[in-house]
A and B are shown apart, each in its own frame.
Chain A
Amino acid sequence: DAGITQSPRHKVTETGTPVTLRCHQTENHRYMYWYRQDPGHGLRLIHYSYGVKDTDKGEVSDGYSVSRSKTEDFLLTLESATSSQTSVYFCAISESIGQGAFFGQGTRLTVV
């Protein structure tokens, strides 16, 4: 199994507070992704990274920011959490375009 760890695995937070989710990999893969999964929507891309300090927006990036200061860590920050950001968040890593991505276990975030 690919070495990819998400933390925390579960979190409950209050509306308006900042939240940071961490994705850590031990595979030295170039690409890292953050998705959110909601019923009826599948997996939607929030942000992704194609190298250290190289990031780009996905289809649902509003309200989220990311940082990648080193290869192994990709952080997702909810600047001011809202109830609409209650979701399951997945991190994924990939070495090349032709390779399927490997996923973390997911983080269930509840904003109350």
Chain B
Amino acid sequence: AQTVTQSQPEMSVQEAETVTLSCTYDTSESDYYLFWYKQPPSRQMILVIRQEAYKQQNATENRFSVNFQKAAKSFSLKISDSQLGDAAMYFCAYRDYGNNRLAFGKGNQVVVIP
């Protein structure tokens, strides 16, 4: 079974600064998808960004971007110009064609300091 690992359970960042969350995964597949989800205190799970493994270009969504290193099986999320509304738990997730599962890491808590 695929595993997704997130270290650094809690990260603090000053407002307007940049924070990077790390994620590594284990797989023998060559085609797969990676995702970052945000869970604010409301508990709602929100899809932030997705990356297709066959694409070398890193995905970007406004202030959110990823650094996808396929050989290293690494998928980090960078939040630029951090805002108070970015304070949340962030989950990395993996999915492939070999099975139908969507596997999550344990999450990173992001604290934004005004």
Contact = CB atoms under 8 A, between A and B. Distances in A.
Interface in A79-99: 88, 90, 92, 94, 97-98
Interface range on chain A: under 10, 10 to 19, 20 to 34, or 35 or more?
20 to 34
Given A43-B91, A59-B1, A106-B43, A97 B103 contact: no
Contacts of A42: 6, 91, 104-107
A33 interface: yes
Interface of B: 1, 6, 33, 35, 37, 43-45, 47, 50, 52, 91, 93, 95-97, 100-107
Interface of A: 31, 33, 35, 40-45, 48, 50, 56, 58-59, 88, 90, 92, 94, 97-98, 100-103, 105-106
Given A43-B91, A98-B52, 20 more contacts: A33-B102, A35-B104, A40-B106, A41-B106, A42-B107, A43-B104, A44-B104, A45-B101, A45-B103, A56-B100, A59-B1, A92-B102, A97-B95, A97-B97, A97-B100, A100-B33, A100-B37, A100-B93, A101-B47, A101-B102
